[in-house]
A and B are shown apart, each in its own frame.
Chain A
Amino acid sequence: MQDTNHRTILRLLPVVVLLLVASAAVRAEFGDIVLNNVSEQEGMRPVIFQHWFHRIRFQCRVCHNELKFEMRVGATQVTMDQISQGRFCGACHNGEIAWTVENCDLCHTGKPGLTTRIQGGHQTKGPGIW
């Protein structure tokens, strides 16, 4: 049993090393998210969503249960129509809880060419994580 355990550690090694390298190379703040499923192809800059900013104000459950954001970047199909109708980001960015959707430039701030993914940390679930 003991030696299988040590084998496990050895098997984990490459992953852990990659993890260390990856975390050292990142410059974006931990947990930052790029949403660019549709933005750029519709002529807008990619959207940058920052966990650190929002979690000071809201617990995870508000977005990841009440508002039905998936815990997997890109998995929630968000469109501007839905936001304007008060869903997803629009549940708060409605002029009551936070400033309105009219402030296009505050959400669409990303560099052109960024792909939809989590930046400050690793991507969760499924293949192609690294």
Chain B
Amino acid sequence: MWFAMDIKKTRRVSKSVGIALLTGMFGVQLAHAGKWLPLNKDGLHDRRSPGLELLQSPQDALGSLPTDTAGNKVNWSRAMDERLIKPRGALAGDKKVQILDLNIVMTDTAGHPNVLFPHKVHTQWLDCANCHESLFKSKTGATPVTMGSILRGEHCGVCHGAVAFPLTECRRCHLLPQEG
């Protein structure tokens, strides 16, 4: 049984797991490296649908934005920072949105680089209420976040892997090297 393995062996196994992961990710990135598919090839849109030709293609909308290797193949944070896109924060009027510039370091990472959670990037898109108090407590370390819960689509995984950059991008979250 795997949980009866001695520590050394477990370490070795998890190292090869790491390598396998990296290879897998490389494959995924290759698969995503091509251009965006036209809508009539995306497997969702009905080619016979009369409205289809009026819709914008992803290539047309996303082609000029800063590129990325995963997800929409757009670096949305950069697109926002460089003001290449200016998504509105309210339906009407100039309601002031609340931006919070506060980084949270999350250290329960089993020897992986620590996680840096930037409030700033998130509050440029989201309200506090999208995360607090339903997904996260407003107290560092108070929410039991694990990679398992994230992969199940909870916590960070509500958005990442669905709409925000996917979970294969380990290093974007696990950003801070640990000493030792």
Contact = CB atoms under 8 A, between A and B. Distances in A.
Given A6-B14, A55-B87, A64-B126, A111 B45 contact: yes
Interface of B: 2-3, 7, 10-11, 13-14, 17, 21, 24-25, 27-28, 31-32, 36-37, 41-46, 49-52, 54-56, 58, 61-62, 71-74, 76, 85, 87-91, 97, 110-111, 124-127, 129-130, 146-148, 151-154, 157-159, 161-163, 166-168
Contact of B14 (A10, A24, A91): A10
A13 to B, nearest CB: 6
A6 B109 CA distance: 11
A95 interface: no
A29 B147 contact: no
Interface string A58-93: 111110111100010000000000000000000110
A15 B56 contact: no
Contact of A30 (B3, B14, B71, B152): B71
B7 A27 contact: no
A109 B52 contact: yes
Interface of A: 2-3, 5-13, 15-17, 19-20, 23-24, 27-32, 34, 45, 48, 51-53, 55-62, 64-67, 71, 91-92, 97, 103-112, 114, 118-126, 129
A124 B31 CA distance: 23
